[in-house]
Structure formats: C-alpha cells, structure tokens
C-alpha cells in the first residue's frame, strides 16, 4: 500500500500540479477577471453621540458618498451593488482636523475571498463641527392680502411674542427674520387666527428646521388682530397774533397738511379735522423765525389713533417787519361810488391827497402806487357839499392808517317842475322836514386786520362792502 503512493512520487506530484494549472486555465477561460467601479456608496457614521451628546452638531463637508473600485471574477463583479458594501466612518476615530477614515468591506464573506478592493474615491469623511446655541427672537407679523377698502390691520397681538431657537452658531448668524403670516383678505372686523412660526435667512429663504439643525420651541401661535377704519383729515390752525412789537406773521409752514388716522368707524365719522393750538406760541425779540413741534397723537380725541410713521409735526412761523408808507393820490384819479338816483356828484377839491398806509415790509415796499384804486362813497347824501373819506383798495396785508377827506358836491339832476306842478305841490300838505346833508364823521382804521382761520375753503375772495359814516347837519 505504501509502495503504491511512493512509487513514481515526482510523477504524481507533477500530475497534480498540472491538473491544478489546467483547472485554473479552464476556470479563467470560462470566468475571466474584471475590474469595475461602483459609485454612490453612502458612508454610515458610527457613534454620533460622541458629538451630539456634547451639545454639538456636525455637517458633512466631503466624503458622504464614495466610489469603490474592485477586481474579481466577472460573474461576481458584475452583480455587485452599493448595498453589497459596508462603508463606515467611526467617530471614535475622529481626528483633530475633523476627519474620520473610511472603512470599506464586502458584506458577503464569500465575496471577500474572491474580490479585491483596489481603491476608494475618498479615504476620509470631512466634517464641520459646531456648538449649539439657544437664542431668543422677536416674532414679526406679515400680512397677506388686503383688508376691505377703508380698513386697516391696526394691531396684532401674539400669545407668544418671542421664540427660542436652538441652532449652530453659523445658522444663528444667518437668521434674518422670525415671523408669522396673517391673512388679512377682506377683513373689516377684529379676528383671531392660528399661524405657524417660520424662520428666514438673509436671502429670505425659509430655513427648514430639520435640514438646518434648527429647533424652535414654539411651532404655532395665536394672533389676535384689531381692525380699524382709516381716513385722512386736514390739519388746520388759527391765526397767530402774539408776535413781538413791530413784527407781523408773514408766513407759516407746516410739515404736513393732512394726516391719516384710524379708529372705530363710528368714532372717525365725527372727526373732520385736526386743529393745532397756536395761542401758546411765543416769540423772542430779534427773532424772525420760530419753530414749534407738535405730538399729533396727543392732539387727537379719545379713540382716534395716528396712522403715520412719525407722530411729530413741525410748524415754522416767519415774521416780517411792519412799516408805514405815504401814498400820493391825484384827486382826479379818485372815483365816486354809490351816487343816489337823480343826483350828480363831483369832487370840489383839486391837487393831491396823501394817504398813510402800513403793512408787511415786503408787501408795502413792492406795492405799485399806480395800481391802487381810490374812491369815495356818497351813499345817503343830499344836495350839498360834504367831506367824505377817501378809501383805498389795498392788497391783503396792507391797511390804511388814517382817513383823508375830500369835499364832494352833490347836485340834483332831475328837471325843474312846471308852474302847474308847483301849484299842485303848494296845495298839498306842507313838508315841515328840514333838508339835511349826511357828512361822514372822520374815523381812524385799525392797522392790524385779522386773517381768517387757516382752514380749507373755496378759492374765492369777498371784497369788503363800501361804507361811509354820515352826520346830520
């Protein structure tokens, strides 16, 4: 038996070797070797709690997906998929450079004996590790849609005006706004709604909480909305009369001519204007300009609120010097008005008259005497010579200081009665009334005419009525 195995031993060994060689050759001919790259294999991170348990978060910068190049029998290599590989990165192996080496293995043990892993596209996973911070943010309110015409969302009260956000430091630096959106479409009365809290970055892009390692302590809040009626009202002010001696108000400027207000409709319906108190404005000697500021909200009645970005109105009062000037009027240029029917009138005097006027400096200095209309009024006069005051039609802001008189003769222009008419008159009851002539009494006009309240009015000017004072003689 022993001899059977030992005889021709070298021939037997050679035969075995040749058989193996032939088997390998045959095998390679039927199932040749192949090299292939499998892409998109996801790296599984192990022991993440080493980071998360330390109040930190991480982001994968590079190496989350790898490509693996393998060599092996074609029948095996062609069937390999990403799931056939176990690709891991263990946080226990985290380096100071925030990288973790990648380990690649074939899941099937039988494949491990026949397939060789040549290389992988990434040897490490690169991480960004940050501390988590909690910060508090105010919640802003956005409005979607428009209320009913004439109405406005005056105020929104949130049951939670602030939220706490836990996020990486870099995310906090990029948070631009935390807000809720309230649908105000066609609103005309108070309403309440529940709205979600949203976080936006500097580019107005919403930060998805889970994707951005953002955690908000409140996700939905209640919003109570107050709806007011709104309208615009004019701003008016009374005359400013307490200027210093020798100066008069020449102009008043206000920063706003009208103001938007809001409130309950039944309240606003009773508000027509906003009046500025001017009786408290004071002036200092030597100053020709005074500025006053008003808090408009303080001037509004109860239940009416300002609907402006600013509640301050600025009023500027400009003063000008009051001067006097004498105008020389040709008597021939003086007209006669209000001549009674059946009578004629003429001015007895000749030459000129000098009339003293006063007013704001620029108005008086710019006045062209040639354009001033002068007249006398003889209304109510009888046939006689009377002294009548000369009246001037002057521009606004200029007044006549004193009266100047001229003599006016009134004559009867009706025809003389016939003898027959005269006889009939004599037979009638005698008239015992003594004829009288009405002569105006000299008067002095005031130098400071009042100016109407600065309220919106029709753009018309009413001329003063002609007047004359008469005296029985």
Of 463, 343, 330, give the one whose Cα is nearest residue 404: 330
Residue with tokens 């008159």, as numbered in its chain: 425
- pLDDT at position 224, please? 96
Does pTM top 0.75 for this prediction? no
Count other C-beta atoms under 10 Å from residue 292's C-beta.
Answer: 17
Residues 36 and 124 in one domain: yes
- The span from the CA of 170 to the CA of 210, in Å, is 15
203 in a structural domain: yes
Residue 248 in any domain: the answer is: yes
Average pLDDT rounded to a whole number, residues 280-294: 82
pLDDT for residue 261 is more than 90:
yes
Model pLDDT, residue 414: 72
- Quick: pLDDT tens for 224-237: 999 999 999 999 99
pLDDT digits (tens, 9 = 90+) for 107-150: 776 677 678 888 888 899 999 898 999 999 999 999 999 999 99
Q: Would you state the pLDDT for residue 448? A: 39
**Domain limits at 203?**
139-229
Q: Are residues 119 and 185 in the same domain?
A: no
Does 299 lie in the same domain as 223? no
438 in a domain, yes or no?
Answer: no
Alpha-carbon span 418 to 371, nearest angstrom: 48
Cα(304)–Cα(298) distance, integer angstroms: 10
pLDDT at 460 over 50: no
Asked if the structure places residue 97 within a domain, the reply is yes
- Flag whether 374 is in a domain: no
Q: What CATH number corresponds to the domain at position 156?
A: 2.170.120
Q: What is the pLDDT of residue 31?
A: 67
- Distance set, CA 212 to CA 20, 57, 65, 433 (Å): 60, 10, 20, 112
Q: Cα 356 vs. chain centroid, distance in angstroms?
A: 53
User: Which residue, 130, 158, 174, sits at the end of a domain?
Assistant: 130
Are 58 and 100 part of one and the same domain? yes
Domain contains 279: yes
Give the pLDDT mean for 190-194: 96
* Region 199-223 average pLDDT: 87
Residue ranges in 104-237 assigned as alpha helix (H): 109-112, 169-174
Nearest to 346 by CA among 354, 355, 334: 334
Q: Report, as an integer, the average pLDDT of 77-85.
A: 86
Name which of 107, 113, 120, 114 is nearest 32 in CA terms: 114
| Residues 314-367: tens digit of each pLDDT | 999 988 888 899 999 999 999 999 988 888 899 999 999 999 999 888 889 889
> Are 91 and 48 members of one domain?
yes
Between 337 and 289, the more confident residue is 337
* 164 and 241 co-located in one domain: no
Q: Which of 388, 395, 407, 404 minimizes the C-alpha distance to 356?
A: 404
Q: Are residues 35 and 126 in the same domain?
A: yes
Q: Is there a single domain that holds both residue 214 and residue 294?
A: no
The span from the CA of 145 to the CA of 406, in Å, is: 76
Evaluate whether 213 touches 172 at the Cβ level (below 8 Å): no
pLDDT grade for 286, boundaries at 50, 70 and 90: low
Q: Which residues contact 69 (CB under 8 A, 6 or more apart)?
A: 35, 36, 37, 38, 117, 118, 119, 120
> Rounded mean pLDDT of 247-262?
90
Quote the Cα angle for 387-392-398, to 5°.
135
In a domain, 172, yes or no: yes
Report residue 390: phi and psi, to 5°. Answer: -85, 130
Give start and end residues of each alpha helix (H) in 165-237.
169-174
User: Is pLDDT at 153 greater than 90 in this prediction?
Assistant: yes
95 and 174 part of one domain: no
Give the HSE-up count for residue 286: Cα atoms under 13 Å, Cβ half-sphere: 0
Is 15 a domain residue?
no
Residue 369 pLDDT exceeds 60: yes
Give the highest mean pLDDT range of 10-14, 53-57, 260-264, 382-386. 260-264
Q: β-strands 103-106, 140-144: how paired?
A: unpaired
Task: Summarize the confidence of residues 90-105 as an average pLDDT.
Answer: 91
The domain boundary residue, chosen from 195, 229, 263: 229
Query: How does the average pLDDT of the chain come out, rounded?
Result: 82
Please list the residues that pair with 85 across neighbouring strands. 106
225 and 241 in a common domain = no
d(CA 56, CA 354): 98
Task: Answer yes or no: is pLDDT of 96 > 50.
Answer: yes
Residue 79 and residue 51 in one domain:
yes
% of the chain at pLDDT higher than 90: 44
DSSP notation for 369-425: GGG-EEEEE-TT--SSEEEEE-EEE--TTEEE-S--EEEEEEEE-SPPPPHHHHHHH
- Cα 11 to its chain centre, rounded Å, is 106
Q: Are strands 274-276 and 220-237 parallel, antiparallel or unpaired?
A: parallel
Domain termination residue (choose one: 77, 106, 130): 130
Which residues face 198 on adjacent strands? 179
Between residues 16 and 312, which one has the greater pLDDT?
312
pLDDT band of 106, cuts 50, 70, 90: confident
How many residues in the chain?
473
Predicted local confidence at residue 461, as pLDDT: 29
| Pair 123, 67 in one domain | yes
Contacts of residue 373, Cβ cutoff 8 Å, sequence gap at least 6: 335, 392, 393
228 exposure class (CB count in 10 Å sphere: 0-12, 13-18, 19+):
buried
Distance of CA 390 to CAs 349, 382, 412, Å?
A: 12, 18, 23
Q: Write the CATH number for 72.
A: 2.170.120.30
How far, in Å, CA of 437 to CA of 472, rounded? 6
Q: What is the tally of structural domains in the chain?
A: 3
């Amino acid at each position: 038996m022993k001899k059977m195995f030992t005889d021709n031993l070298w021939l037997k060994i050679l035969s075995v070797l040749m058989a193996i060689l032939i088997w390998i050759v045959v095998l390679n001919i039927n199932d040749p070797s192949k090299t292939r790259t499998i892409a998109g294999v996801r790296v599984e991170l192990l022991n993440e709690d080493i980071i998360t348990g330390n109040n930190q978060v991480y982001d994968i910068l590079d190496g989350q997906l790898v490509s693996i190049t393998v060599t092996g029998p074609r029948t095996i290599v062609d069937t390999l998929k990403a799931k056939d590989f176990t690709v891991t990165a263990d946080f226990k192996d985290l380096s100071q450079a925030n990288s973790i080496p990648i380990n690649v293995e074939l899941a099937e043990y039988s494949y491990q004996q026949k397939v060789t892993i040549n290389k992988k596209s990434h040897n490490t996973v690169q991480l960004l590790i940050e501390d988590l911070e909690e910060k508090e943010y105010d919640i802003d309110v956005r409005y979607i849609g428009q209320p009913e015409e004439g109405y406005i969302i005056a105020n929104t009260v949130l049951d939670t005006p602030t939220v706490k956000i836990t996020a990486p430091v870099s995310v906090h630096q990029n948070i631009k706004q935390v807000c809720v959106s309230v649908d105000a479409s066609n609103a005309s009365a108070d309403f309440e709604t529940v709205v979600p809290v949203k976080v936006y970055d500097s580019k107005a892009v919403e930060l998805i909480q889970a994707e951005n390692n953002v955690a908000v302590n409140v996700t939905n809040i209640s919003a109570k909305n107050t709806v007011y009626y709104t309208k615009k009202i004019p701003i008016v002010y009374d005359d400013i009369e307490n200027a210093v001696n020798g100066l008069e108000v020449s102009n008043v400027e206000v920063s706003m001519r009208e103001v938007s207000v809001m409130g309950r409709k039944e309240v606003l319906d009773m508000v027509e204007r906003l009046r500025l108190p001017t009786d408290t404005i004071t002036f200092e000697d030597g100053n020709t300009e005074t500025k006053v500021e008003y808090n408009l909200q303080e001037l509004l009645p109860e239940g009416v609120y300002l609907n402006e970005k600013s509640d301050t109105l600025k009023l500027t009062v400009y003063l000008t010097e009051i001067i006097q000037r004498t105008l020389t009027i040709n008597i021939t240029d003086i007209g006669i008005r209000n001549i009674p029917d059946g009578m004629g009138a003429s001015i007895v005097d000749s030459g000129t008259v000098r009339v003293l006027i006063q007013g704001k400096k620029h108005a008086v200095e710019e006045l062209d005497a040639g354009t001033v209309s002068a007249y006398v009024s003889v209304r109510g006069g009888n046939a006689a010579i009377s002294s009548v005051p000369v009246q001037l039609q002057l521009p606004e802001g200029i007044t006549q200081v004193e009266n100047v008189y001229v003599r006016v003769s009134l004559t009867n222009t009706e025809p003389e009665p016939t003898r027959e008419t005269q006889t009939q008159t004599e037979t009638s009851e005698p008239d015992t009334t003594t004829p009288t002539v009405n002569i105006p009494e000299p008067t002095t006009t005031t130098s400071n005419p009042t100016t109407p309240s600065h309220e919106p009015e029709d753009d018309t000017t009413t001329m003063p009525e002609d007047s004359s004072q008469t005296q029985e003689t």
